[in-house]
């Protein structure tokens, strides 16, 4: 019995650690290519790791460095932004991003974000959707607990109903907020232009009027829901507030 249990535990541990070991092995090999100056091969190897679903800040940072070396600054900016989302590589990625931004010959004018947009962004990057949801759910649970205590014990106090409604209202509002933020997060996504120059058109057609030109390194926002209306086109908003359609090959979605 003890022996079978031991085998089961070993198998379970292996199932968790094996993919990580594979990713680490591939990562080491890709790092060797990078050290040897084989940038194209290194980038291919890094991308293979990314496709396994295992990612890390170090992976994205190294991919950004490789992209810089092969003079693909838009791609480098994309990877450095991804690396900045990990605590372990946040500082280095910020430094690398500053460098990359300074190398673009064209800079997009950026409209300041609205206070509500800033708040949503802060909530997404700070506590996160799941934490907000669980906070709201905790309020609901507290409300349920108060009701149960009142029903089955002599627990009560002044303004009990007022407190109960406040707790439930707060919980529901926080839950709704978490779903709204989740909706915004799912509907809109950041992206970086990786093509040297691409045309932004007012409709999803090659012959449509050109609204603007977007250059490598421009940060844009994609409306994922609207983009689904047309195959091989994405609907984007430029930093200066202009909207339009462009080819998806010209950008990388964050």
Partner 1 sequence: MTRTGKLNWLTGLIFSLFFVSSTVFGQDVSVSSSLSETNIYSGESVTMTISVSGQSINNIERPQMPPVDGLRWLSGSTSTSQRIELINGRPTVSYSYGYSFIAQRPGTYTFPELTIGVDGKGYTTKPISFNVLDPGSIDNDQSARLPDIYVRLEPSTTQPVVGEMVIADIVLYFKNTVEVRSYQPTPGWKAEGFWKEILENRLQTKATSTLINGVRFQRARLLQYALFPTKSGELTISPFELSVQIQQRNRRRDIFSFGLGQERKDLQTLPVTLTVRSLPDIDNATFTGGVGDFKITRTIEPAEAFVGESIEVTTTISGSGNLPLLNKPIYEYPETLEIYNPSESSNINRNNREISGSKTFTDILIARNAGEFTIPETNVAFYDPDNDRYRTISLPALTLKATRDPRSVNGSEDMLRLNVEPITGLAQWITPDNAPLTSRSWIWGLLLSPVVILGLAFWVKSYRDKMNTDTAFARAQKAKKLATEELEKAAASTELKNGYYHIYRAISLFIADKLDLPKAGNTTSELVQAVEDSSSSKLAIEVKRLLTKCDTIAYAPGASQAGMARDVEFAQTLINELNKAL
- Structure token pair of residue 80: 């450095």
- Fill in the DSSP letter of residue 154: S
User: In whole angstroms, how far apart are CA 185 and each of 125, 162, 222, 233, 251?
Assistant: 11, 34, 11, 20, 18
Q: Does 105 bind partner 1 (CB under 8 A)?
A: yes
How many CB atoms sit inside 10 A of residue 166's CB?
A: 13
Can you give the length of the chain in residues? 254
Q: Does 43 bind partner 1 (CB under 8 A)?
A: no
Q: Minimum distance from CB of 86 to partner 1 (Å)?
A: 8
Q: Which of 24, 38, 135, 221 binds partner 1 (CB under 8 A)?
A: 24
- Structure token pair of residue 26: 């591939």
Q: Which of 39, 43, 45, 59 binds partner 1 (CB under 8 A)?
A: 59
Checking DSSP bridges between strand 219-223 and strand 234-237, what pairing results, if any?
antiparallel
- Structure token pair of residue 170: 């707060």
Give the residue with the Cβ less far from partner 1, 78 or 204: 78
Q: Does 160 bind partner 1 (CB under 8 A)?
A: no
How many CB atoms sit inside 10 A of residue 82's CB?
A: 22
Residue 6 main-chain phi, psi, to 5 deg: -60, -45
Q: Which stretch binds partner 1 (CB under 8 A): 5-13, 81-89, 201-209, 226-234?
A: 81-89
Q: Does 29 bind partner 1 (CB under 8 A)?
A: no
Q: Does 70 bind partner 1 (CB under 8 A)?
A: no
Q: Which of 39, 45, 68, 77 binds partner 1 (CB under 8 A)?
A: 68
Q: Which stretch binds partner 1 (CB under 8 A): 18-26, 218-226, 228-236, 244-252?
A: 18-26
Q: Which of 36, 99, 209, 232 binds partner 1 (CB under 8 A)?
A: 99
Task: Fill in the per-residue mask, 173 to 192: x = in contact with partner 1 (CB under 8 A), - = not in contact.
Answer: --x--xx--x--xx------
Q: Does 164 bind partner 1 (CB under 8 A)?
A: no
Residue 213 main-chain phi, psi, to 5 deg: -110, 140
Q: d(Cα 254, Cα 224) in Å, to the nearest integer?
A: 12
Q: Which of 130, 173, 176, 228 binds partner 1 (CB under 8 A)?
A: 130
First to last CA, the chain: 49
Give the residue with the Cβ less far from partner 1, 106 or 113: 106
How buried is residue 136: exposed, middle or buried, by Cβ count under 10 Å (0-12/13-18/19+)? buried
Residue carrying structure tokens 């029903």: 151
Q: Does 65 bind partner 1 (CB under 8 A)?
A: yes
Give residues in contact with partner 1 (CB under 8 A).
19-20, 23-24, 27-28, 31, 34-35, 53-59, 61-62, 65, 68, 86, 88-89, 92-93, 95-96, 98-100, 102, 104-107, 109, 129-130, 133, 137, 140-141, 143-144, 147-148, 151-152, 175, 178-179, 182, 185-186, 240
């Amino acid at each position: 019995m003890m022996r079978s249990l031991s085998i089961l535990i070993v198998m379970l541990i292996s199932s968790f650690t094996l993919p990580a070991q594979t990713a680490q092995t591939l990562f080491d090999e890709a790092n060797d290519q990078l050290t040897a100056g084989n940038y194209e091969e290194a980038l291919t190897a890094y991308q293979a790791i990314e496709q396994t679903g295992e990612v890390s800040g170090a992976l994205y940072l190294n991919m950004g460095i490789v992209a810089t070396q092969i003079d693909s600054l838009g791609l480098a900016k994309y990877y450095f932004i991804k690396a900045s989302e990990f605590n372990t590589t946040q500082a280095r990625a910020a430094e690398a991003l500053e460098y990359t931004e300074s190398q673009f010959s064209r800079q997009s004018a950026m409209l300041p974000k609205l206070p509500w947009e800033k708040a949503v962004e802060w909530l997404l990057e700070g506590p996160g959707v799941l934490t907000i949801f669980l906070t709201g759910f905790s309020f609901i649970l507290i409300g349920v607990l108060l009701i149960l205590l009142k029903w089955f014990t002599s627990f009560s106090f002044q303004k009990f109903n007022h407190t109960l409604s406040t707790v439930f209202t707060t919980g529901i509002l926080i839950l709704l907020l978490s779903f709204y933020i989740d909706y915004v997060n799912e509907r809109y996504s950041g992206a970086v232009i990786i093509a040297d120059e691409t045309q932004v058109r007012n409709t999803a057609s090659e012959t449509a009027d050109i609204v603007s030109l977007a250059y490598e390194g421009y940060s844009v926002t994609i409306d994922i829901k609207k983009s689904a209306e047309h195959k091989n086109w994405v609907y984007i908003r430029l930093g200066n507030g202009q909207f339009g359609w462009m080819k998806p090959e010209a950008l990388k979605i964050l």
